[in-house]
């Protein structure tokens, strides 16, 4: 008994050194809550929050992308994939801080603490290899985001927040139900363990697929993919733009990481009787198509971007659907570019919202007097469409190359259809991505007053846009780094 | 020095656009000047290049640099290069681009709305078009190809006519659809092709020259000619050819994928119409000759009847629709569809005459359509009315304009002495010969295509009769006063074009001596390689 305790304590102590980034985040979370007691000004809170994200990011980088360790008796695992996604999530939190110089006007300390909590949840989620850990970290993300979504403190905001909560609770409950079945069948909660595989191969019953689909539903909810997407537009529309930008990136990437691990685990290296490739392909085609076609008729830029983020989830899933290590690498590249382009667009949308341009038609004539922000927005949207010379094109090229490669290896006609339909969807997406520039440049209207365009926000947007262009011409600087990740299940 | 000439030609406009970005927007004259100077520099560079170009030397002015080299571990290396060069196909088209861009700049002198934006977009477009013709790396080609879309979208959408928004969006969507089809083929190709210059490693290359050689295909890759995959009734290589063909045919444009063209032309401002007709349409034919045919020769042979059939349909349908058009610009736009049909027919014949004729037709149509759209613009500038029936008896009121229209119309209908005649005659020679020489096309294709000439004469002469003969009449009194004859700026644009159309019609030899080595090599390579590859379909 004592020996066992001793071993466990040793394991925990040994794990803690790998756990430094998460400890930093937890520490800063507590610090922010403590600071809220004294009415500190915005600068202190903001600096504190950004410092937390930077330190955590540096901590992840210090552990490197090629290391691997199982922590806390199989609850979480440090590996390249998780570390890379952690860095992206930290970065998303950091940029959100940069966007939050003015908003919110009340409950600031709580706002930053909640951001911190979502990022912490994301860190834990991408590292989880244990069903209970997944549930805990997912709930940490969810509960914090429910509150963040209502941060405009309006009636619409509360409604959005409540909607998010109700949908989210149901999705979590369904997921948890699925967990319970899988636990019952395999007798373990650690889905990366050998026992889990052996049991699933031994007990190949239809119930496994049923339970796995229920779990998948919970993850699809998190990444806003069809058929679990309907909450996204309402929630996004109701939340303030920095929150919306954050919610469309951080939880999505975290959910994607765990979805990837789970799907690969359930696929049992191709030994599963269920066709997981077909399931992922069906989900992604549905997601891309629904997202794109729903976006066509939107009049509000925020709703448009909500549907765009749904469609982008589908494109991210293409990397999963390839079921190749290269597909995962390319998916991480896509995820990085998605982060940059999504934030670029939201930074500019925030800028235009401050100029009280809140509908797509309201952009009429904006290209004339707010030329530079309009051009920046154009580049961001072109990147989301996937046209050169932006990294959005490179990312799409890579991710579909992986799928094509997978088609060559397996010869499944389904994958060819995904390539063709996925790419043709780009044409549809151009139609709505171009709507804002269309109004800004082609329609003449009552243009906003000519103002100083050099604001901090524009500078931030400009840097992101520059990154998008740079990554098109030299993708090697990022891809070389991602390629170091040695991906294993 | 010589090897950097092409890059100089290519990037001068981009540098100029960058400089123009920082000039104050109220000094509108400077932008015109900067663009004009850029075009003049390009002309000088081009003349330097022409002076050293050896028409029998194959690819020249080749410049090659590493661009993207990604080591993807077990998957191999992904390699895209900055690889440009000119041969007997691209040199005439690049020369055409430089010339037309100079004239376009002159034609843009009257632009008043947002001058800065207009000329910057024009300069970017200039680089993109030359880049498309010069690129020998598929990814680089695709970059320039897509890069034309945005400037063009804004040039039509901001400076266009009443329905400009509709026309620009339609243009963008059609072209993007085409380029997505090309993208699918591009992905399939670079995954299947290995760069032999790096031994020991698998190098996924975008190099168009490597893609032509069946030896460079990775064995059992999807597009491997020795062991191609079947997808439904056809092999993957045939599908890839069809994707490229449709993608480029939208650009050409070919019936029934042409419907974006009349709208874009009618709504675009005159200089943009000129660029669109004279240069952008050529990229369709160029893509077939540079990419689709040499890489998939066996599919090209198999589908030659289809290409020729669609070409003939374009010729006849375009001409018939032109005859029914009430709007002068629409008439010219449909005549372009008809003339581009000859390019398809010439390529499909795969004879030296036919291919030479197709390239000749691209250059000739570039010159003549530029002139036609400038003339339509002359009329529109004065009266803001392009409806043919609203004019009558213009010959007496504007004699010089009438003379210019006469030249342009006759040149376009292929009257001997003009460049169009040489081009169309060679296409016919090729199409007739194809049946006996390589057994690809039945003579009836050529016979039906001659209908295009008759119809061409009919719609041009009918338009002449309605607009220029009879008693003078114009709708509206203000229009009657506004109708003055050509001014000096218009002379400076139209006279060089008319002279060029005449020179290439009377002394075709210099241009043919450029194109001919390419045409020989091209038709030889496609025929021999196409027949040697297993015809699985």
* Contact: A483, B188; criterion CB under 8 Å: no
- Return the axis-axis angle of helices A20-37 and A42-63, rounded to nearest 10°: 170
Residue B218 neighbours by CB under 8 Å, 6+ apart: B192, B193, B194, B202, B224
φ, ψ at B82 (rounded to 5°):
-90, 100
pLDDT higher than 80, residue A450: no
Q: Are strands A76-78 and A69-71 parallel, antiparallel or unpaired?
A: antiparallel
Q: What is the pLDDT of residue B39?
A: 93
Q: If you measure CA to CA, which chain B residue comes closest to A474?
A: B68
Q: Are B62 and B209 in contact, with CB atoms under 8 Å apart? A: no
Is B121 inside any structural domain?
A: no
Q: What is the pLDDT of residue B1?
A: 65
Is B449 inside any structural domain?
A: yes
Nearest CA distance, A347 vs chain B (angstrom): 22
List, for residues B43-81, the tens digit of each pLDDT value.
999 999 999 888 887 888 989 998 888 877 777 888 889
Average pLDDT, chain A: 88
**Least CB-CB distance to B176: which of A329, A389, A430?**
A430
Is B227 inside any structural domain?
A: no
Is B363 inside any structural domain?
A: yes
Q: Are A200 and A211 in contact, with CB atoms under 8 Å apart? A: no
* Contact: B70, A479; criterion CB under 8 Å: yes
* Contact: B183, A397; criterion CB under 8 Å: yes
**Least CB-CB distance to B187: which of A400, A434, A475?**
A400
Partner A contacted by B177 (CB < 8 A): yes
* Contact: A480, B221; criterion CB under 8 Å: no
Q: Contacts of residue B154 in chain A, CB cutoff 8 Å? A: 441-442
Q: Are B128 and B151 in contact, with CB atoms under 8 Å apart? A: yes
Domain that holds residue B325: 303-531
* Contact: A401, B143; criterion CB under 8 Å: no
Is B407 inside any structural domain?
A: yes
Q: Are A407 and B223 in contact, with CB atoms under 8 Å apart? A: no
pLDDT higher than 70, residue A391: yes
List, for residues B80-98, the tens digit of each pLDDT value.
899 999 998 999 999 999 9
Comparing A274-283, B2-11, B22-31, which segment has the lowest mean pLDDT?
A: B22-31
pLDDT higher than 70, residue B218: yes
Residues shown for chain A: 489
Nearest CA distance, A43 vs chain B (angstrom): 35
Partner B contacted by A431 (CB < 8 A): yes
Q: If you measure CA to CA, which chain B residue comes closest to A387?
A: B146
**Least CB-CB distance to B184: which of A423, A427, A479?**
A423
* Contact: B231, A416; criterion CB under 8 Å: yes
Residue B81 tokens read as 């290069």
Compute the count of residue pairs across chains A and B with CB atoms less than 8 Å apart.
Answer: 88
Q: Which of A441, A462, A471, A480 is most worth mutating to test chain B (most B CB atoms within 10 A of its CB)?
A: A441
Is B504 inside any structural domain?
A: yes
The segment with the largest mean pLDDT, out of B212-216, B266-270, B311-315, is: B311-315
Nearest CA distance, B153 vs chain A (angstrom): 10
Q: If you measure CA to CA, which chain A residue comes closest to B243?
A: A420
Give me the DSSP letters along B328-350: HHHHHHHHHHHHHHHHHHHHHH-
Q: What is the pLDDT of residue A79?
A: 87
Nearest CA distance, B220 vs chain A (angstrom): 9
Nearest CA distance, B378 vs chain A (angstrom): 25
Provide the 3-class DSSP secondary structure of residue A346. helix
Average pLDDT, chain B: 88
Better-predicted residue by pLDDT, B122 or A3: B122
List, for residues B476-485, the tens digit of each pLDDT value.
767 677 778 8
Q: What is the pLDDT of residue A382?
A: 92
Is B230 inside any structural domain?
A: no
Q: Contacts of residue A329 in chain B, CB cutoff 8 Å? A: 72
Is B429 inside any structural domain?
A: yes
Comparing A71-75, A104-108, B200-204, B334-338, which segment has the lowest mean pLDDT?
A: A104-108
The segment with the largest mean pLDDT, out of A76-80, A325-329, B121-125, B252-256, is: B121-125
**What secondary structure, in 3-state letters, does B359-393 show?**
HHHHHHHHHHHHHHHHHHHHHHHHHCCCEHHHEEC
pLDDT higher than 60, residue A489: no
In total, how many domains does chain B have? Answer: 1
Residue A367 neighbours by CB under 8 Å, 6+ apart: A374, A375, A437, A440, A441
């Amino acid at each position: 008994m004592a020996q066992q305790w001793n071993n466990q304590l040793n394991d925990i102590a040994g794990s803690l050194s790998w756990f430094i980034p998460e400890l930093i985040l937890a520490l800063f979370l507590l610090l922010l809550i403590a600071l809220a007691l004294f009415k500190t000004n915005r600068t202190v809170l903001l600096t504190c929050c950004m410092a937390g994200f930077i330190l955590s990011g540096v901590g992840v980088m210090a552990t490197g992308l090629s290391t691997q360790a199982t922590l806390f008796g199989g609850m979480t695992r440090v590996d390249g994939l998780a570390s890379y996604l952690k860095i992206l999530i930290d970065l998303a939190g950091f940029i959100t801080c940069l966007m939050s110089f003015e908003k919110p006007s009340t409950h600031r300390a709580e706002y930053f603490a909640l951001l911190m909590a979502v990022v912490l949840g994301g860190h834990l989620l991408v590292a989880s290899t244990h069903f209970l850990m997944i549930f805990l970290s997912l709930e940490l993300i969810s509960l914090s985001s429910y509150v963040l979504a209502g941060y405009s403190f309006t009636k619409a905001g509360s409604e959005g927040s409540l909607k998010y909560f109700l949908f989210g609770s149901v999705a979590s409950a369904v997921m948890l139900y699925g967990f319970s079945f899988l636990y019952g069948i395999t007798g373990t909660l650690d889905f990366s363990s050998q026992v889990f595989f052996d049991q699933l191969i031994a007990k190949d019953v239809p119930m496994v697929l049923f339970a796995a689909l229920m779990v998948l539903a919970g993850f699809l909810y998190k990444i806003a993919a069809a058929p679990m997407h309907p909450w996204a537009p309402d929630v996004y529309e109701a939340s303030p733009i920095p929150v919306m930008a954050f919610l469309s990136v951080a939880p999505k990437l975290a959910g994607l990481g765990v979805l990837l691990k789970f799907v690969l685990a359930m696929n049992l290296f191709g030994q599963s009787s269920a066709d997981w490739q077909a399931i992922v392909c069906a989900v992604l085609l549905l997601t891309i198509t629904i997202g794109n076609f729903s976006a066509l008729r939107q009049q509000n830029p925020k709703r448009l971007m909500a549907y765009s983020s749904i469609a982008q989830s589908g494109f991210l899933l293409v990397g999963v659907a390839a079921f190749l290590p290269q597909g995962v690498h390319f998916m991480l590249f896509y995820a990085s570019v998605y982060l940059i382009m999504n934030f670029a667009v939201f930074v500019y949308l925030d800028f235009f919202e401050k100029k009280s341009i809140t509908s797509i038609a309201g952009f009429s004539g904006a290209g004339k007097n707010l030329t530079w922000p309009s051009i920046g927005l154009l580049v961001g949207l072109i990147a989301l469409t996937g046209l050169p010379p932006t990294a959005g094109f490179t990312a799409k090229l890579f991710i579909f190359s992986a799928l094509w490669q997978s088609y060559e290896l397996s010869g499944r006609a389904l994958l060819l259809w995904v390539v063709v339909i996925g790419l043709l969807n780009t044409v549809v997406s151009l139609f709505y991505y171009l709507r804002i520039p269309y109004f800004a440049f082609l329609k003449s209207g009552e243009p906003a007053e000519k103002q100083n365009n050099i604001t901090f926000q524009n500078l931030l947007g400009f840097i992101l846009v520059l990154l998008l262009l740079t990554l098109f011409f030299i993708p090697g600087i990022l891809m070389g780094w991602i390629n170091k990740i040695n991906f294993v299940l | 020095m010589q090897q950097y000439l092409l890059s100089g030609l290519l990037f001068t406009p981009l540098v100029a656009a960058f400089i123009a970005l920082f000039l104050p927007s109220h000094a509108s004259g400077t932008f015109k000047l900067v663009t004009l100077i850029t075009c003049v520099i390009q002309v000088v560079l081009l003349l330097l290049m022409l002076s050293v170009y050896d028409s029998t030397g194959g690819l020249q002015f080749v410049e090659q640099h590493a661009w993207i080299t990604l080591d993807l571990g077990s998957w191999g290396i992904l390699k895209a290069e900055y690889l440009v060069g000119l041969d007997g196909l691209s040199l005439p088209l690049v020369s055409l681009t430089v010339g037309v861009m100079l004239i376009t700049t002159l034609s843009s002198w009257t632009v008043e709305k947002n001058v800065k934006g207009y000329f910057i977009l024009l300069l970017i477009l200039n680089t993109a078009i030359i880049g498309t013709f010069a690129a020998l790396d598929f990814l680089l080609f695709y970059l320039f190809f897509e890069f034309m879309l945005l400037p063009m979208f804004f040039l039509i959408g901001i400076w266009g006519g009443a329905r400009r928004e509709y026309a620009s969006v339609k243009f963008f969507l059609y072209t993007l659809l085409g380029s997505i089809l090309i993208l699918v083929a591009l992905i399939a190709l670079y995954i299947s092709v290995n760069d032999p210059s790096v031994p020991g490693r698998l190098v996924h290359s975008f190099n168009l020259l490597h893609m032509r050689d069946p030896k460079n295909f990775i064995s059992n890759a999807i597009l491997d000619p020795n062991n191609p995959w079947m997808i439904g009734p056809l092999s993957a290589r045939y599908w890839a050819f069809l994707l490229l063909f449709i993608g480029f045919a939208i650009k050409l444009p070919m019936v029934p994928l042409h419907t974006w063209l009349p709208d874009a032309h009618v709504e675009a401002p005159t200089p943009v119409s000129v660029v669109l007709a004279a240069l952008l349409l050529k990229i369709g034919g160029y893509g077939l000759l540079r990419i689709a045919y040499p890489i998939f020769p066996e599919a090209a042979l198999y589908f030659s009847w289809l290409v020729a059939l669609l070409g003939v349909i374009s010729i006849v349908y375009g001409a018939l629709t032109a005859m029914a058009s009430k709007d002068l610009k629409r008439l010219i736009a449909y005549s372009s569809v008809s003339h581009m049909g000859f390019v398809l027919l010439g390529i499909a014949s795969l004879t030296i005459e036919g291919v030479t004729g197709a390239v000749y037709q691209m250059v000739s149509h570039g010159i003549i359509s530029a002139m036609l759209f400038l003339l339509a613009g002359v009329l529109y500038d004065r009266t803001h009315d392009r409806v043919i029936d609203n004019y009558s008896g213009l010959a007496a009121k504007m004699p010089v304009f009438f003379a210019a229209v006469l030249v342009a119309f006759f040149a376009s209908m292929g009257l001997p002495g003009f460049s169009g005649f040489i081009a169309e005659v060679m296409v016919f020679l090729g199409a007739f010969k194809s049946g006996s020489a390589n057994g690809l096309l039945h003579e009836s294709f050529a016979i039906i295509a001659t209908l295009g000439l008759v119809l061409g004469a009919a719609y041009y002469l009918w338009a002449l009769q309605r607009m220029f003969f009879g008693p003078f009449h114009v709708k509206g009194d203000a229009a009657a006063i506004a109708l003055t004859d050509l001014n000096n700026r218009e002379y400076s644009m139209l006279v060089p074009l008319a002279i060029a159309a005449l020179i290439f019609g009377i002394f075709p030899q210099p241009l043919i001596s450029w194109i001919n080595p390419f045409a020989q090599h091209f038709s030889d390579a496609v025929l021999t390689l196409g027949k040697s590859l297993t015809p699985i379909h």
